């Protein structure tokens, strides 16, 4: 049986035990070019009322950084909320 290659893919799960409004709504992981990262997502709303995800990526290797390795806001009207 061939092992699944999860390179350049990831997953987000709804956070069931969110303790503060600042904590992510979704948490998971992603692999980019063979490197593993923690992935966090927040559901936000734009000024014109459209919902979108704000994402944050942190390296899994334990390196501490002052800010995420990648941070980007993705706006899509196709996200079913």
pLDDT tens per residue across span 56-79: 999 998 765 444 444 444 555 555
The proportion of the chain whose per-residue pLDDT surpasses 90, expressed as a percent, equals 63
**Count of the separate structural domains present in the chain:** 1
E-strand stretches of the chain: 9-14, 26-32, 35-45, 51-59, 70-75
Which residues, 6+ apart, have CB-to-CB distance to 33 below 8 Å? 7, 8
pLDDT tens per residue across span 44-60: 999 999 999 999 999 99
Q: Does a structural domain hold residue 52?
A: yes
Q: Does a structural domain hold residue 29?
A: yes
Q: Does a structural domain hold residue 45?
A: yes
Tell me the pLDDT band of 4, cut-offs 50, 70 and 90. Answer: confident
Question: What number is the average pLDDT over the span 32-53?
Answer: 96
Structural domain boundaries, residue 71? 9-75
CA 70 to CA 67: how far, in whole Å?
A: 8
pLDDT at residue 3 tops 90: no
């Amino acid at each position: 049986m061939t092992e699944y290659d999860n390179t350049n893919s990831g997953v987000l799960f709804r956070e069931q035990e969110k303790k503060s409004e600042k904590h992510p709504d979704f948490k998971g992981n992603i692999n980019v070019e063979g490197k593993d990262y923690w992935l966090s997502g927040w559901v936000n709303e734009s000024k014109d009322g459209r919902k979108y995800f704000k994402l944050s990526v942190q390296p899994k290797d334990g390196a501490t950084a002052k800010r995420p390795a990648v941070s980007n806001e993705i706006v899509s009207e196709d996200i079913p909320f």
